[in-house]
């Protein structure tokens, strides 16, 4: 049978394979709330400009509310013949209320309808992601405050470099996440224009009020160009690109958690709640959740690249290709929702092994830079000379199999006679940390202040 929505032109229905490739109801049913919301705004506008009677509008409104209940309670029968969520809901409305239902599609096309629905969906997804990112930032800043003065080895090239505090390390991720949040909010601001009323591609001859529907749906204004409005998917791409960067940041933190949990490191431990065992090795405790968060970046970036390639080379205006915009967005959103929740759980769950981190923070000549800095501060050697002197002292200590602080004053003076006994005070981990008071540095007082400032800012963001 021909599709009832365009049966006038068609004598026969589609081939089975045509129905299969064409239908999107399997995945776009997730847009049902947005579709109903858009239709309610559209009907209210049609009534306002006199294209629907008040009574017709009431019938449509009530009919749509009933359909919402049907869908919510699992009573709605989705039909593949009706292709997508838009025609499923519209056909059901006409079935329920007759004539008035058939007037709903006046001055509208599925092209502006789907673009509107999808913008609403992505906007909600952005709001959900921003809330989750904010919660994770809160957890990280809370743990950072707790560990503002806890020493840990700082790394470059994954080699012990200089002591830092665990709190400082955690706050680095708060900074990254705050940029992610900014990117999501930027994308939201550009997304927030309404395609509704662009109709198929050219606009419409009906005296519609696009500002009314835009504001009813929480958009800032209508999209300016009808061709652009029905074919633009930048909003979905910007969202996916922001998610890709966010996922990349989460994968870095996840990787650090994996490393920190590994027994040669033992910087932190995760409880039973966030680890799993081995089916053969009875002693094992594996950080599977962290590994999965580390992996999700592949999938999310794949979703971004996939949609980017769908959009490449598409001529104006609407083309069915854009029906392929939804699955990557749904998939990436699901993966990100899980990742953020799991990461937040792990950050709250982890126990820091402070004594282990403190012990390693001073190994591998981690305070050599402090010695070089002392040579600049006290005997006023030029930094390059100080670097060279320190390098020789490190070589000496390494040959003896001891730390820098274990060298005698005489041994030090054999390399640089201007060294006096006050040098030993700068060679401890605590002295090194306390000295890093430059803006953005790891001194515990700095870290304490930054963690507190973040917690205050995040508290205000919640309001
Ligand atoms: N299911 C379609 C989509 O997701 C709706 C728009 C169809 N428009 C059309 N002219 N065939 O893009």
Going by DSSP bridges, is the β-strand pair 221-222/268-269 parallel, antiparallel, or unpaired? unpaired
Does residue 426 come out as left (phi exceeding 0), alpha (psi in the -120 to 50 range) or beta? Answer: alpha
Q: Which residues contact 388 (CB under 8 A, 6 or more apart)?
A: none
What separation in Å is there between the alpha carbon of 111 and the centre of ligand 1? 6
Length of the chain, please? 463
Residue among 110, 196, 227 to mutate when testing ligand 1 (max atoms within 8 A of CB): 110
**pLDDT tens-digit map of 303-359:** 999 999 999 999 999 999 999 999 999 999 999 999 999 999 999 999 999 999 999
Which residue has its alpha carbon closest to ligand 1 atom 11? 320
Q: Hey, what are 255's tokens? A: 């990787």
Which residue has its alpha carbon closest to ligand 1 atom 7? 110
* pLDDT value at residue 462: 61
Q: What percent of the chain has pLDDT over 90?
A: 93
The closest alpha carbon to 203, from 231, 228, 226, 232, belongs to 226
**pLDDT tens-digit map of 28-50:** 999 999 999 999 999 999 999 99
Does residue 319 come out as left (phi exceeding 0), alpha (psi in the -120 to 50 range) or beta? Answer: beta
**pLDDT tens-digit map of 220-235:** 999 999 999 999 999 9
Residues in contact with ligand 1 by the CB-under-6-Å rule are 24, 28, 84, 86, 110-111, 114, 318, 320, 322-323
Residue among 81, 84, 227, 232 to mutate when testing ligand 1 (max atoms within 8 A of CB): 84
The closest alpha carbon to 231, from 309, 307, 320, belongs to 320
pLDDT, the chain, mean: 96
Q: What are phi and psi of 417, to 5 degrees?
A: -60, -20
What separation in Å is there between the alpha carbon of 167 and the centre of ligand 1? 50
Do residues 207 and 295 touch, judged by C-beta distance below 8 A? Answer: no
Going by DSSP bridges, is the β-strand pair 351-352/268-269 parallel, antiparallel, or unpaired? antiparallel
Do residues 407 and 396 touch, judged by C-beta distance below 8 A? Answer: yes
Measure CA of the first residue to CA of the last residue in the chain; give whole Å: 55
* pLDDT value at residue 258: 98
Q: Which residues contact 354 (CB under 8 A, 6 or more apart)?
A: 147, 150, 166
pTM: 0.95
* pLDDT value at residue 174: 98
Q: Provide the ipTM.
A: 0.97
Q: Which atom of ligand 1 is nearest to the CA of 28?
A: 4
In a 13 Å sphere around the CA of 106, the CA atoms on its Cβ side amount to 26
Residues with catalytic annotation?
157, 278
Task: Output helix, strand, coil percentages for the chain, rounded to the nearest 5.
Answer: 65, 5, 30
**pLDDT tens-digit map of 181-216:** 999 999 999 999 999 999 999 999 999 999 999 999
């Amino acid at each position: 049978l021909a599709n009832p929505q365009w049966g006038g032109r068609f004598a026969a229905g589609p081939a089975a394979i045509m129905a299969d490739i064409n239908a999107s109801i399997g995945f776009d049913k997730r847009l049902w709330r947005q579709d109903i919301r858009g239709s309610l705004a559209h009907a209210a506008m049609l009534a306002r400009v006199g294209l629907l009677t008040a009574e017709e509008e009431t019938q449509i409104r009530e009919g749509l509310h009933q359909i919402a209940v049907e869908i919510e309670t699992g009573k709605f029968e989705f039909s593949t013949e009706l292709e997508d969520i838009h025609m499923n809901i519209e056909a059901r409305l006409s079935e329920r209320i007759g004539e008035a239902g058939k007037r709903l599609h006046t001055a509208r096309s599925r092209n502006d309808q789907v673009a509107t629905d999808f913008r609403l969906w992505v906007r909600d997804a952005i709001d959900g992601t921003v809330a989750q990112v904010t919660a994770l930032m809160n957890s990280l800043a809370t743990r950072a405050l707790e560990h503002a003065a806890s020493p840990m080895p700082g790394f470059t090239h994954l080699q012990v470099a200089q002591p830092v505090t665990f709190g400082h390390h955690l706050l680095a991720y708060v900074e990254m996440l705050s940029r992610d949040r900014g990117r999501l909010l930027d994308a939201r601001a550009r997304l927030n224009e309404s395609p509704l009323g662009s109709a198929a591609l050219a606009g419409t001859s009906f005296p519609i009020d696009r500002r009314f529907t835009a504001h009813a749906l929480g958009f800032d204004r209508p999209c300016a160009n009808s061709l652009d409005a029905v074919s633009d998917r930048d909003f979905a791409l910007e969202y996916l690109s922001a998610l890709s960067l966010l996922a990349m940041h989460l994968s870095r933190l996840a990787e650090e958690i994996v490393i920190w949990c590994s027994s040669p490191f033992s910087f932190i431990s995760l409880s039973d709640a966030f680890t799993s065992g081995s089916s053969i090795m009875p002693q094992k405790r594996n950080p599977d959740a962290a590994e999965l968060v580390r992996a999700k970046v592949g999938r999310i970036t794949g979703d971004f690249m996939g949609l980017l390639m769908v959009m490449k080379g598409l001529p104006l205006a609407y083309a069915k290709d854009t029906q392929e915009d939804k699955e990557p967005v749904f998939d990436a959103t699901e993966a990100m929702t899980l990742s953020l929740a799991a990461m937040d759980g792990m950050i709250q769950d982890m126990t820091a092994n402070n004594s282990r981190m403190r012990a390693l923070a001073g190994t591998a000549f981690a305070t050599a830079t402090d010695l070089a800095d002392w040579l600049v501060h006290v005997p006023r050697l030029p930094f390059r000379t100080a670097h060279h002197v320190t390098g020789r002292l490190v070589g000496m200590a390494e040959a003896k199999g001891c730390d820098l602080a274990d060298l005698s004053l005489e041994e030090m003076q054999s390399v640089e006679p201007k060294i006096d006994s006050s040098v030993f005070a700068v060679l401890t981990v605590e002295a090194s940390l306390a000295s890093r008071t430059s803006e953005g540095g790891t001194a515990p007082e700095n870290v304490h202040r930054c963690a507190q400032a973040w917690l205050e800012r995040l508290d205000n963001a919640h309001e």
